[in-house]
Structure 1
Amino acid sequence: EVMHAEVRAVLGGQAHELAAPQPFRNLVAQARLGVDAKAHEEFFRSMLADIDEPTMPFGLNEVRGDGSGVGEARRMLPQALNDRLREQARRLGVSLASLCHLAWSQVVARSSGREQVVFGTVLFGRMHAGAGADRALGLFINTLPVRLDLDGTGVAASVRTTHARLSELLAHEHASLALAQRCSGVAAPAPLFSALLNYRHNTPAAMAGSGTDDGLSGVEWLGGEERTNYPLTLSVEDYGEALGLTAQVVEPVSADRVCGYMQHVLEQLAEALERAPDRPVRELDILPAAERTYLLEDLNRTAAAYPSQRCVHELFEAQ
């Protein structure tokens, strides 16, 4: 948005009115000097030291080739679910992002067969980036691990724990991912995690997804795509009064199924916070009703007609 505003000013002959640009080197200095490396190490060691196996949902561990085998799915969540989640976040005094991180951790836990899960979360990178960081161009984001335990703790307590963990992580938003991984018990070169959550705040105009309504007359939108080296990425699109999901998953795992899992867990989480806040967080289900029916009933419809009045050895003889 900042870049487009500056381009509009230049095209409109108002370049002289623009403020002096903020140098990206300020962020580099802040990242290197802002927090002592020992403080980073102590924080991540306390969180990850007992994690000795990678968390790999669906057994996915890497993107092969150029990323062209990645499927993408998008969906908007029902407005009623959006409203319920925001109400629960306000009631508990936590961010909506904390609820979404907890929900995603349950998807990761169920699809990896683990109760102690680690996944990457994308940090804004501008919270502790110094004065003028809101106007500076450049890639400020950073990916760091977050560890959550899906155990017998109640859902409300788990939400508060998740919020506290994310708040602590913000103080380390410029730490090196390599440093964080070294603080775990996972031996290199194995990855610590293979799933990513990107909670991002979008303007309502971004809901169209076309990028055409930006006031740049004479500029034609051709398209674009984003890819990461993570085989499983879920972006939560927060539009202020609406929520959307974007999943990118390497084939053959279905990106739309992943969106379905996340939506179902969010519905379960809202229901539990409203009616049973002490319900163990590990009991939150990820399977939508249709998929549960397919897995447990449709695939098990194996009844077949056969000559049941004959003995087993006679059936062998006949065949």
Structure 2
Amino acid sequence: MRKNIEAIYPLSPMQQGMLFHTLLAPESEVYFEQFHCTLSGTLSIDRFEEAWQKVTDRHPALRTAFVWENLKEPLQVVGRRVKIRIERHDWRAKGEEAAEEDFQRFLAEDRKKGFTLNKAPLMRLTLFQLGERRYRFLWSYHHLLLDGWCLSLILKEVLAFYMAAVQEKPIDLPPPRPYQDYIAWLKKQDLGAAEAFWRKHLRGFAAPTPLGIDRTAEGIETRNLDSHEREHALSETTTARVDAFCRAQRITTNNLIRGLWALLLARYAGEDDVLFGATVSGRPAELPGVESIVGLFINTLPVRVRIAWEASFGSFLTRLQGEELEARHFEYSPLVEIQGWSEVPRGTPLFESLLVFENYPLDAGLLDLGEEIGISDLHFVERTNLPLTLFVVPGKRLTFRALYHTARFEAEAIERMLGHLEMLLERALANPETPLARLSPLTEGERHLLLEVWNDTAVPDFMPGTIHGTFERQAAATPERVAARSAKGSITFGALDRQANRIAHALRRRGVAPEVPVALLAGRSIETLAAILGILKAGGAYLPLDPGYPKERLAFMLRDSGARFVVTTRAAWEPFEDFQSEIEPLFLDEAEELLLQEPETPLDLPISPHHPAYIVYTSGSTGRPKGVIGLHAGAVNRFEWMWRTYPFAEGEVGCQKT
């Protein structure tokens, strides 16, 4: 056994990640790659098989297996001799339609079969004879072995050996460098400098950018990695405009699509700071002969894009290209380490979408064999562990290919997304000076639907009021009916209104006035409900603070909102006693006698429907939480719609999600 071992060495960081995900979900078919094409002409299958054997003998990566059990770290083991054979199927008797159905079935079964990763070769060759001079060829392999750059390299060598054998001519290809040399180069790179760069680059980013077009949460099955593809090809005219635009702006097509993808994610997520993944070739120019090495060089890195909406599209791309050039010095950085250097918690993905620019398009023209053998219908099938991957394929028609997990996305949502990407592109090409804020991905039909059809919500004779005013009218009409229940009891509309009025008077005496923020730090109870109404009756904008939140987050919200008053309990406020000089508390659990001395009648204050009613903070998933002000008019308008759309009958109880 040991006599057949040529070399043993560690995995690259990318290989380690792929191995981890393959072992984590072996049934998912992740990183199982399939290339198939049609061959036409007189094919010597034996010589074709011999050509594959010779190429396998040349490149150690094709003779590699992986071991990990009972080891400190996984290793790759290169065999001296690995036998290659082509599995042959004679389908000449099948009709074209039956042959296609059976081939698709074979592809699926082949994927399910997978590979035994500790046994080389981690690839299979299958040939289906469809006619006297027509074949379908399938090459299946694990992504651990090689990346897309290697496809044309290997296929060219196979066909060169084949043609030399057929024509009985000698062939002498220069020996390639082994993949092991790249692993040795990786070990010499400065991870300290990479860490400093990525920590600075990702500072303040704490959660992956939401994609915004997912299925509803109830429909998501995160362990289901079944994937589908959608393809969207631009016209030759648009592709020519893209090329001209990039030349004029002195940018790459890759840079242009990165910018457009960032803008689309920002629109979908409602963020101005987004993060996605992007693949880089990973082949270091300082490693001589690197272009001829077969192996896995690509790396996946995070791309953070901050969007200043007032900037022009042209200046945005220039800045983006500069940031891309800076990051290029650290392309060797392991993604698992970058994740650790970021503020995104372990176990949470750094990003959920990946942009892949295929600068190695596999074209049948690159594999031209003259009149001997024709090659056509080239197809590539792959799976990744990320929910959404966008491949950008150059050519006469620039093509977007979306690979997506069906558990996360509807096919229609992906179709719209690809259309939105083209719409952004068309508008950006028209004028690079266009401000980013004016680049909309929506079609004219979608804009009409949003602005005219869905926005036609006018209600005759409806005038929005205040939240507490709406409550007061109900309390006056049904004072003895139960307004709220809790585990400790219930309260009528009239009693709740009177209790809220007392709190409003107490707050007013402390200086609360219209538009003044008042924090509310308390659990869910009838007293809390009265406090909310009391704050609104005093003219304040209530700031809900959940006692279960971390102290640091609550302290930030108190300072950021500028609140000078808080309604709370003694126990809830205890961790914040150092705020005592800045914020005046009203303790609900100690103010019963004080409140009984306050009037039960409402305050006479000129509170407008357009005054602030509340302040809520975003999750802060992409940085600091942001306070958002809600107006009385907006809330009452929402109530009016809800009551009109889902009318209550007398005595019904509604469950309101909050």
Task: Place the TM-score, normalised by the shorter chain, in its bin.
Answer: 0.7 to 0.9
Describe the SS at the equivalent of 1:178: helix
1:288 aligns with 2:443: yes
1:83 aligns with 2:240: yes
Which residue pairs with 1:309 in the alignment? none
Describe the SS at the equivalent of 2:355: strand
Matches within 5 A, 1:125-140: 125-128=282-285, 130-140=287-297
Query: TM-score under structure 2 normalisation?
Result: 0.41
Retained in 1: the 8 A contact 2:364–2:376? no
Distance of aligned partners of 1:126 and 1:22 in 2 relative to their CA distance in 1, 3 Å threshold: same
Moved more, 245-254 or 96-105: 245-254
Paired letter, 1:118: L
Distance of aligned partners of 1:206 and 1:123 in 2 relative to their CA distance in 1, 3 Å threshold: farther
Residue in structure 1 matching 2:185, options 12, 18, 30: 30
Distance of aligned partners of 1:136 and 1:51 in 2 relative to their CA distance in 1, 3 Å threshold: same
Distance of aligned partners of 1:57 and 1:187 in 2 relative to their CA distance in 1, 3 Å threshold: same
Which residue pairs with 1:258 in the alignment? 417
Q: Compute the displacement of 1:283 (Å).
A: 3.3
Q: Compute the displacement of 1:93 (Å).
A: 1.5
Moved more, 283-292 or 108-117: 283-292
Distance of aligned partners of 1:284 and 1:124 in 2 relative to their CA distance in 1, 3 Å threshold: same
Q: Compute the displacement of 1:180 (Å).
A: 1.7
Q: Compute the displacement of 1:220 (Å).
A: 10
Q: Compute the displacement of 1:144 (Å).
A: 0.2
Q: 1:183-236: per-residue Cα shift (whole Å, max 9, x none)?
A: 3221222112101111112447369xxx9x765959998965111111111111
Q: Compute the displacement of 1:110 (Å).
A: 1.4
Q: Compute the displacement of 1:16 (Å).
A: 4.9
1:148 aligns with 2:332: no
Which residue pairs with 2:263 in the alignment? 106
Which residue pairs with 2:155 in the alignment? 4
Which residue pairs with 2:400 in the alignment? 245
Retained in 2: the 8 A contact 1:57–1:111? yes
Which residue pairs with 1:225 in the alignment? 381
1:55 aligns with 2:209: yes
Distance of aligned partners of 1:220 and 1:281 in 2 relative to their CA distance in 1, 3 Å threshold: closer
The CA distance in 1 between the partners of 2:383 and 2:289, in whole Å, is: 29
Describe the SS at the equivalent of 1:201: coil
Retained in 1: the 8 A contact 2:273–2:305? yes
Residue in structure 2 matching 1:173, options 331, 339, 364: 331
Unaligned stretches of 5+ residues in structure 1: 304-311
Retained in 2: the 8 A contact 1:49–1:183? no
The CA distance in 1 between the partners of 2:170 and 2:294, in whole Å, is: 16
Unaligned stretches of 5+ residues in structure 2: 1-151, 459-643, 650-658
Describe the SS at the equivalent of 1:196: strand
Q: Compute the displacement of 1:59 (Å).
A: 6.7
Which residue pairs with 1:190 in the alignment? 348
Query: TM-score under structure 1 normalisation?
Result: 0.81
Moved more, 48-57 or 115-124: 48-57
Larger strand proportion of the pair: 2
The CA distance in 2 between the partners of 1:243 and 1:40, in whole Å, is: 34
Residue in structure 1 matching 2:254, options 97, 101, 126: 97
The CA distance in 2 between the partners of 1:130 and 1:124, in whole Å, is: 13
The CA distance in 1 between the partners of 2:170 and 2:180, in whole Å, is: 23
Distance of aligned partners of 1:225 and 1:302 in 2 relative to their CA distance in 1, 3 Å threshold: farther
Q: Compute the displacement of 1:140 (Å).
A: 1.1
Two-structure CA RMSD over aligned residues (Å) = 3.3
Retained in 1: the 8 A contact 2:359–2:393? yes
Distance of aligned partners of 1:126 and 1:187 in 2 relative to their CA distance in 1, 3 Å threshold: same
Paired letter, 1:9: A
Q: Compute the displacement of 1:49 (Å).
A: 0.9
Distance of aligned partners of 1:206 and 1:110 in 2 relative to their CA distance in 1, 3 Å threshold: farther
Matches within 5 A, 1:293-312: 293-296=448-451
Q: 1:261-297: per-residue Cα shift (whole Å, max 9, x none)?
A: 1111111211231xxx1x3324321223344445555
Retained in 2: the 8 A contact 1:63–1:250? no
Distance of aligned partners of 1:231 and 1:129 in 2 relative to their CA distance in 1, 3 Å threshold: farther
The CA distance in 2 between the partners of 1:65 and 1:301, in whole Å, is: 41
